[in-house]
Structure 1
Amino acid sequence: METAPGPTVLTPPAATAQLPAPPSVHVRAVITWLAIFPLVTLGMMASAPLTEGWHPVFKALALTLVVVPTAVYLVVPRMMRAHASLSRRRPRA
Structure 2
Amino acid sequence: MTHPTSNPRTAQPGPPSKHQLALMIWLAVFPTLLALNFALGDWLSTLTPVVRTFVLATIAVPIVIYGLMPQLHRLRRRLLTRIASR
TM norm structure 2:
0.81
CA distance in 2, matches of 1:35, 1:61: 18
CA distance in 1, matches of 2:83, 2:44: 45
CA distance in 2, matches of 1:22, 1:87: 11
Residue 38 of structure 1, aligned match among 15, 20, 31: 31
Identity %: 28
- 1:34-74 Cα offsets, whole Å, 9 max, x none, are 00000011111111112221101111110110101110011
Query: Number of paired residues?
Result: 80
* CA root-mean-square deviation: 1.9
CA distance in 2, matches of 1:73, 1:91: 28
Specify every segment of 5 or more residues in structure 1 that has no aligned partner in the other structure, as ranges: 1-13
TM norm structure 1:
0.76
Specify every segment of 5 or more residues in structure 2 that has no aligned partner in the other structure, as ranges: 6-11
Q: Which has the higher contact order (CA 8 A, sep 6+)?
A: 2
Q: CA deviation at 1:92?
A: 7.2
Structure of greater Rg: 1
Where in structure 2 are the equivalents of 1:1-93 lying within 5 Å? 16-18=3-5, 19-91=12-84
